[in-house]
Structure formats: C-alpha cells, structure tokens
Structure 1
C-alpha cells in the first residue's frame, strides 16, 4: 500500500448527492511518497511469484533486467500507468471495493496504453451474494484541463454507465487462472444469470495532476445529471513530472540494489 496519509493531506466534501476527495502531497514528504509508490509499482507489472522465481533461479541482475523490461520508457505512458496504479491502490485502501486484478501485467507492449475500463472494483453484497461494481476512469496530466475530465466522463458513461462485459470477462479469466473460482463465478453470474443493475454500479473518476484539480472536478461533478453514484478523487503532486520520473528511477534502482 502507498499509505497516502503518511505523505499527503486529504479533504473530503459532498457535492450534491456525490462525493469529492482531494489528496495533496506535502512538499516535505514527497521523497517518502516517491519511495512508497516505487515499492509497489513492480507488482503492478509482474506477479510477485514470477519475480521471486526468477530471483531464485537466475539471480539479482537478471531479475532487475526482467523488471526494467516491463516498465514503460515514455513520459506519457508512465504518467498514464501511474495514474491507474494509484487509482487501484486507492480503491484497495480507501473503499469497500477490491481491485483483484492488476491489469498492467497483461499489456501488449510496455509503451502502449491499455484499452477498456481502467479499473473495476468489486464488492460482494453479504446480504444477496451479488457483486457491486466500481467503474473507474483514471487520468494523469501535469496540468489537468477540463477536456480530460470530459473524456473521462464519456468513458464512465459508455456502455450505459455499466462496466463493459469485455472488461469483466477479462477479470473473470484472470481470476480463474489464479484459482479464485468463487469470485470468477460471481462475475459470470452477474453477466449471464441475473444481470447488472444500474443501482449496483458506482463511478470513480480519479485524477493525478500537478495543478490543483479541485475546481475542475467540482464543476464537472456539479454538471453530472445521470443516475449513478459518483466519487471523484483528485491527487495533486507538484512537481508531477519529476515525481513520476523519480518513482520509475527508484523502481529500477531498487531492482538492481535489492
């Protein structure tokens, strides 16, 4: 976990019937935050068991080469990936939902963005046994413009506001491969047996930026007229680009130095 409270200030507010949370990195604690994020990045690109096996069989230098070969090298893809990584970590630590699949492990190429829903959180209702879903769009920009929020809003509204069947089938397949048949069956039941009710879906619009996103997020949320419950989360890390570069540099250094 990245432990946001250890290096960030947090402020939450209601915007109508919806929620907005702002998470701002403290300048004095940026180095701590960078180290915490760097520590969890590798597991988003490769299974920990795979890394451990390479380490046992081939040693530290080959393990470091394997990890570095998984990491994107372009600023744009690193930025987008880190936005998705932090969104996944936020879901795991800050909501009732679980994000059981780290989908960056299945990228076609390290310098390509993945298509489809960025992250889908899952929560099994203890009363019904049915799943509830957190459909997520994550965006990362040094300076966040309003147009990016419009783009994210369109992504959340796609497929009638529901998580796409393709994205859920992907998650179910990966869960089956990992031996988590129970949760995979619950996804299949949602898709094929009882359907996904709109009231079982919540939206998360998640941003990572260098500028303060509060007014943009608040205005976009105020303009939402749909029927899905909304959670908007904006993380501000200044300087944005240097933080991302530092995280990936630290990941490589950690892999080489153990």
Structure 2
C-alpha cells in the first residue's frame, strides 16, 4: 500500500462525480519512502531486470542503465511523477488496473509519450470491458489553464480513450500471451467497432501541486458531462519541487536502500 499510510483522503460525491482531496499526514512521507522509490523504478524498468543488472554490472552499472530511462529536466520529472502517482492511486483505490507501464516504452529520456496519460481496464461479470481514461497534471502552482488543458484531452475522441493509446496497450498485452492476450484481443475489437457506450468509459483527472485544490478543479468537475462517471483527485505536496527532486535522486541511488 502506498497511499493508505501516506495521505488522508477527503471524498465528496454527487451524481456520479467524485472529488478526492489527498493531503500528506504527519510522518506519512517517511513511512512510504522506500516503497515509493521502488514503485518509481518499476514504472521505468522491470524490477527483475534491474536486479539482474545489479548482479551482472554492480550497483553503478545498474544505476547507469536506469538513469538512461529517467528524465533529468524538472518539467519532465514533474509530469512523469504525476503519471506514476495517478497510476498507483488507480490501482490502490479503484476497481481498474493499468496493465502497461508506458514510461518503459519512451523513445527518449525527455520525450513525452503521446496519447492518454493512463488507461485503466476492468472486466465486468459479463466480460464487457470498462475503460478509465486518465489525464494527470503536476504543477508547483496549479491554475485554471492547466485544468482546462486536461479536460480538453479527456473530451477528445468523444470521451473515449484514443485508438492509438488503446492499440498500444493491446499490443503490449498480446505480447505476453495467455489471459493478457485475450484482453488485448478484446481491446482491438473495441477499437474496430467503437461501440463502447459512455457508461463504460470513466474519466479521471489527477492533479498534484503545492497549492490547495484550486476552485478551477471544482468548477471543472461540476461542469463535466453527466453521461459517464467522473473522478477528480488532487494531491497536495507543499514542497512540490523539492519532493520531486528527492524522489528521483532516491530512485537513482541503487544500493542505498
């Protein structure tokens, strides 16, 4: 568990829309430091492969490989940590899984991946696929323009996950075979038919910032269409930039944990 020992959560719900306010509790950050470091690494590389690099190359060599996957710029680190923490929140607190760690597949350390920031999947009792289309934003000070940018992305493609994002997930799942192949096949079928109704596609906006939940995020949720479930989550990190810097420094310090 990451969030449970780390943050207090306040939830407001109205007509299929939820607002989550997450705030660090006293001592919470220290309690999850080690697990957060491991989770960050796992989004950039398979932990088994990192361990194999350590055996083959020692800690410095393994760290050198890991550093080639992680961004160095403040902006890129902020955005990618937002995606990581959004994904972890989904899998800890929602019924969706985010089956592909997409940051492992970047074609450049500082390059942002195109498509939806995260896509969650769930199969219901009738084996119908449900989707979670997610956008994450991380800013020292979160403002209205950033919220509007995220909502615009969520609204594209009639509110469905983009075909490019879905096919990327499907391809990665089908490489594994077995049940993952079957889910990938279902995703490809959905892309072909574009038949999933809005009720099977939920939207999630995840934000992380140093300021309190801005009024713009509340207004955005209130204005969101009522034809699908919506979750808007805000994580307040008062020392936002120092927190991000420390997270990546620890993640790259292999051998010190």
Same fold (TM over 0.5): yes
SS at the partner of 1:59? helix
Partner of 1:248: 248
The runs of 5 or more residues in structure 1 that have no matched partner are none
2:147 is aligned, of 120, 131, 149, to 149
C-alpha distance in 2 between matches for 1:73 and 1:48: 21
C-alpha distance in 2 between matches for 1:183 and 1:135: 17
Partner of 2:159: 161
Deviates more, 1:7-16 or 1:27-36: 27-36
What is the Cα-based RMSD across aligned positions, in Å? 1.7
Partner of 1:135: 133
The runs of 5 or more residues in structure 2 that have no matched partner are none
Deviates more, 1:109-118 or 1:147-156: 109-118
Structure 1 residue ranges, 4+ long, deviating more than 4 angstroms after superposition = none
Asked if the contact 2:198/2:228 (under 8 Å) is kept, the reply is yes
C-alpha distance in 1 between matches for 2:143 and 2:187: 35
SS at the partner of 1:225? coil
Partner of 1:196: 196
C-alpha distance in 2 between matches for 1:176 and 1:52: 25
C-alpha distance in 2 between matches for 1:215 and 1:24: 17
C-alpha distance in 2 between matches for 1:199 and 1:62: 48
Partner of 2:50: 51
Partner of 1:93: 92
SS at the partner of 1:188? helix
- In the superposition, the TM-score normalised over structure 1's length comes to 0.93
Aligned residues: 255
